Amino acid sequence: MHGYVRFTAGCLLGLALLAPPPAGATTPFVDGAVVDMPPGIWHGRYEFPGVYCLTFPVAGEATRLSSRLLDNDAVSLTRVDYGPLQMSLVSSTMPASLTDEREHLDQIARAADSAARLPDGLYSVGTEDSPMGPVVRRRLTNVASRGPRHTAPFPIDLAFHDLPPERIATVAELRLFSRWPDRYEVAAHVTVPETGSPAEVEQARQLAEAFADAALRSLQACTALLPPRVPTGP
């Protein structure tokens, strides 16, 4: 969310194992939460009060929900595990001097620079219009689901597996947009079987794209109904 600036995760609070949310209730963001989900019970409704809300796709297949704050509480990360597929949702606070237009241009420039520095096929970037303004779309190959030790987690920080070009171990789709003073990113990451055929790789790509786009639509539709947030503090 902050381009490619790395920061340590030493400020993270210890994770607490919590009970699954009651049926029908909206699950709130809780710093340091880890919730194991029995199959079929979660409806996927989720919110960070005053910041965003959405319904995670195919929530009944989710197995674990975790959430945490990073970077002196300026960044929130929520992860939903679905076996070989993991969804992540990140929100972060923009500097007071930054406009949505400038933020979008900066993100495009950073993404294009990253794509240019990586081997062909690992990183591609594009844009699209949406009801809440321009969206940066990123497609990644062989990106790790968790970064190296002492780096921020995926998708805040990106680390790639060192593999030959013909070996595809993971695929991911990311969607980034902003509504001042917040920026948002949803990411779907899929692990490909070691013996995965080209058809299985393409199926994994389509799955990641479908989950990322569904989460983006829900996030925008719900969050657009919230009053624009007024930041507090300096």
Q: What percent of the chain has pLDDT over 90?
A: 65
Instruction: Please tell me the predicted confidence (pLDDT) of residue 179.
Output: 93
* Owner of token pair 């597929």: 85
49: Cα within 13 Å, side-chain hemisphere:
5
Query: Mean pLDDT throughout 10-33?
Result: 64
Lowest mean pLDDT among 1-5, 15-19, 101-105: 1-5
Confidence of residue 196 (pLDDT cuts 50, 70, 90): confident
Instruction: Please tell me the predicted confidence (pLDDT) of residue 19.
Output: 56
Instruction: Please tell me the predicted confidence (pLDDT) of residue 22.
Output: 61
Residues 185 and 205: their CA atoms lie apart, in Å, by 18
- Residue 8 pLDDT greater than 80, yes or no: no
Predicted model pTM: 0.86
Residues 224 and 102: their CA atoms lie apart, in Å, by 20
Q: Name the average pLDDT for the chain.
A: 87
Confidence of residue 233 (pLDDT cuts 50, 70, 90): low
State which amino acid sits at residue 179.
R
Is 139 or 230 the better-scoring residue by pLDDT?
139
